[in-house]
Amino acid sequence: MCGRYSITTPPEAMSRLFELSGPISNFPARYNIAPSQDVPVVRMPLLGGARQLAMLRWGLVPSWAKEGAKPLINARGESVADKPSFRAAFKRRRCLLPADGFYEWWRPESGPKQPFNIAPRDGGLLAMAGIWETWGRPDGSEIDTCAIITTAANATLAPIHHRMPVILAPKDWDRWLKTPETEAGDLLPLLVPAPDDLLKAYEISTRVNRVANEGPELIAPLEPETPQTVNQTVPKKNDTEQGSLF
């Protein structure tokens, strides 16, 4: 699962990395992005063209959903091509969600959960695989929403959490974004754990637990008085997506 992440890379640098066209929103550095917030997403225009950056609401609402449906922040890679909530978006509306890192919480045998920051070992941006959908409000207006695709954790993440976002390498960005040129079934091999040496994970302050908290101190490494050792046994947790409709 991925339920919180950060973007601190300036929009101009993001534009160069993803080779974007069109205007770029001037969004500030954000260290505690949460579901229901608007997030920058890289996608291709439905009628073709170059990559663009758009601000979408994090929490996918299927086009056919009724008012009051619970937004879906994650979609399991194992079922995204078949599940009614996601299959149309996976076939026609794929996107990338840039991130400098994301957060996960390790649950010890006793005591409170410990947050970890997971970030690229060598710095830089991650491109998380996503899907998006347009939902029509009862008043006739529309909103574009998105979800992050997840997969099984790699060796770096498994001691902390059993799921992780699908992270796509630059060589796969065009293949992922070009719809419908790329058949959805041909993309399933991309929905796998990231290489074990791509990421680093370290303990951070529980200040990240509160969505209202912001700032670079949230990703500062924690220096506990008594260092903890993460149990190497993968915790057993519910495999379903957070807020799934089905």
- pLDDT, tens digit (0-9, with 9 covering 90-100), for 18-47: 999 887 878 899 999 999 999 999 999 877
Q: Is residue 227 part of a domain?
A: no
Q: Is residue 244 part of a domain?
A: no
Percentage of the chain exceeding pLDDT 90 = 72
Q: What CATH number is associated with residue 92?
A: 3.90.1680.10
Angle at 130 between CA 125 and CA 131, to 5 degrees: 150
* Total of domains in the chain: 1
State residue 1's pLDDT score.
65
Q: Please give the structure tokens belonging to residue 177.
A: 């974004």
At 92-144, the pLDDT tens digits run: 999 999 999 999 999 998 889 999 999 999 999 999 999 999 998 888 789 99
Between residues 184 and 59, the one the model is more confident about? 59
At 172-222, the pLDDT tens digits run: 999 999 876 677 788 999 999 999 999 999 999 999 999 999 999 999 998
Helices (H), the chain: 11-18, 87-92, 173-177
Query: Whole-angstrom Cα distance, residue 41 to residue 170?
Result: 15
Q: Is residue 231 part of a domain?
A: no
Q: Is residue 163 part of a domain?
A: yes
Q: Is residue 237 part of a domain?
A: no
Q: Please give the C-alpha separations between residue 126 and each of 99, 169, 213, in angstroms, as whole numbers.
A: 5, 8, 22
Average pLDDT, the chain: 88
Q: Is residue 242 part of a domain?
A: no
Confidence of residue 237 (pLDDT cuts 50, 70, 90): very low
Q: Please give the structure tokens belonging to residue 65.
A: 């959903």
Q: Is residue 228 part of a domain?
A: no
What's the pTM? Answer: 0.88
Instruction: Give catalytic residues, as residue numbers.
Output: 2, 104
Q: What mean pLDDT do residues 77-81 have?
A: 96
Q: Are 131 and 80 contacting, i.e. CB atoms less than 8 angstroms apart?
A: yes
Q: Is residue 75 part of a domain?
A: yes
What DSSP line would sit under 193-241, residue for residue? PPPTTSEEEEE--GGGGSTT--SGGGGSPP--SS-----SSPPP---SP
State residue 232's pLDDT score.
44
Domain with 77 in it: 5-219
